[in-house]
Amino acid sequence: MQTRSSPSVSSLHSLAREAGMSSFTDTPKPILYRRLKENYNLNRLQRAHKRGLKRRVDEDMCDFDADLGASSSSSSSSYPDESSPRAMRHAGRSARHDNELEPWDERRGDPDDSRSRKRSRESSKGKGRAGERSRTPPRKAAAKSGYSKPRDAGTKLVDPIMLTELPPGALTFEFQRPNGTGVVYHLNSLIDYFLATGDFTEPETRIEFSDADLKRIDEIAAASQLGKSSVLAAKLNPTRFNDAKLDRDAIVGLERCAGELVADMLKVIESNDPEEGQMRLIMYLFPLFSDLHRQLRTADAEYSSRCMDHFAAYVNGPPNRPTVDKFGFLPIVLSFFRQLREGESMDFGF
């Protein structure tokens, strides 16, 4: 195991020669390796040895280039630089000599070499990205950014909250995301969103607005005399949103319970037992759903209406794969939804 994790004998001899040791040729490999490791800085010796090899190869290449230039001036039949036999021999010898130390370096780690390799990779990546940016047309580069503020007067902005076009001269706020893109919001709708929900994150990505961003929003609103409450003060006082969050959680819970009943209704529509399905609708699903819808409509009528639209679309199925109704339950369920939306009272007999 000692010989597997250490360099070869020739590499150890080169390192010992670099360290100035004497009478090391007859020393067994394990003992020589242990002496180099305990008495000398083995990593430092390896780096110095590699630098010496590289220096000698560079000197040989310089001498070869000088000889090649002299021979090319006297004769026109010289080898090309990239296919020269002598250059290939030098490169092969240096590669073979370095490969003897390569397994040791990979296992033990060389901080300087790893840092240099990392810097070279980062520089090459940076050059590639810079070249890609330089080859990208200006319009395509602007389109890639997506949410960046347009520079052309004819380009129109859409508020991500209201999904409406921002009118010319509207008061806006640009939020910078960590990836460098900017999202332009209508300042009025953004402040109303914060104060109504108590959620101080971006509506699209849920990235939290910093206190500096909220302070800047307050300063812009105060300078424009919008008459809005401070969003930073609202964030620092979370108790004012406790009731709103409790109501929102209760409404979402009612919607989820109603959604489970709608899923059971769809199972009845697609079932193969009409008698059992009819009894289940009349005795269990319709009464429970009616009670949940009443509570949801009392808490938030607008949210209840949107939920009913979603439930009806879910029961009907997508256009390319509509719900299979073998026994005519689908019109009954849709009629039940319509009666609930219109506020008609229903008597289930109990």
Per-residue pLDDT of 228-282, as tens digits, reads: 999 999 999 888 888 888 888 999 999 999 999 999 999 999 998 999 999 999 9
Q: Which of 17-26, 33-42, 83-92, 285-294 has the highest mean pLDDT?
A: 285-294
Q: Residue 172: in which H helix or E strand, if any?
A: strand 172-176
pLDDT value at 125 more than 70: no
* Average pLDDT of span 61-72: 59
Q: Categorise residue 233: left if φ over 0, alpha if ψ from -120 to 50, beta otherwise.
A: alpha
Q: Which helix (H) or strand (E) holds 283?
A: none
3-state secondary structure of 208: strand
pLDDT score at 219: 94
Q: What is the residue-averaged pLDDT of the chain?
A: 76
**Residue in this structure with the two tokens 């020393």, named with its chain if needed:** 27
* Per-residue pLDDT band at 215 (split at 50, 70, 90): very high
pLDDT for the residue 150: 41
What span, in angstroms and rounded, lies between the C-alpha atoms of 173 and 220?
9
Which segment of 109-123, 139-153, 231-245 scores lowest on mean pLDDT?
139-153
The predicted-structure confidence for 244-257, as pLDDT tens digits, reads as follows 888 889 999 999 99
Better-predicted residue by pLDDT, 220 or 78: 220
Buried b (16+ CB within 10 A) or exposed e, 124-157: eeeeeeeeeeeeeeeeeeeeeeeebeeeeeeeeb
Whether 179 shows a pLDDT value over 80: the answer reads yes
**Which has the minimum average pLDDT: 28-37, 157-166, 290-299?**
28-37
pLDDT of 89 reads: 54
More confident residue, 217 or 73: 217
Q: For CA atoms 33, 36, 42, 47, give the dihedral sign.
A: negative
Question: Both tokens of residue 99?
Answer: 């490969």
Question: How much is the pLDDT for 140?
Answer: 40
The mean per-residue pLDDT over the stretch 280-291 comes to 93
Pick the residue with more confidence: 106 or 171?
171
- Of 118-122, 145-149, 191-195, 319-323, which gets the smallest average pLDDT? 145-149
Q: What is the pLDDT of residue 53?
A: 67
pTM above 0.85, yes or no: no
- Report the distance separating Cα 228 and Cα 195, nearest Å: 9
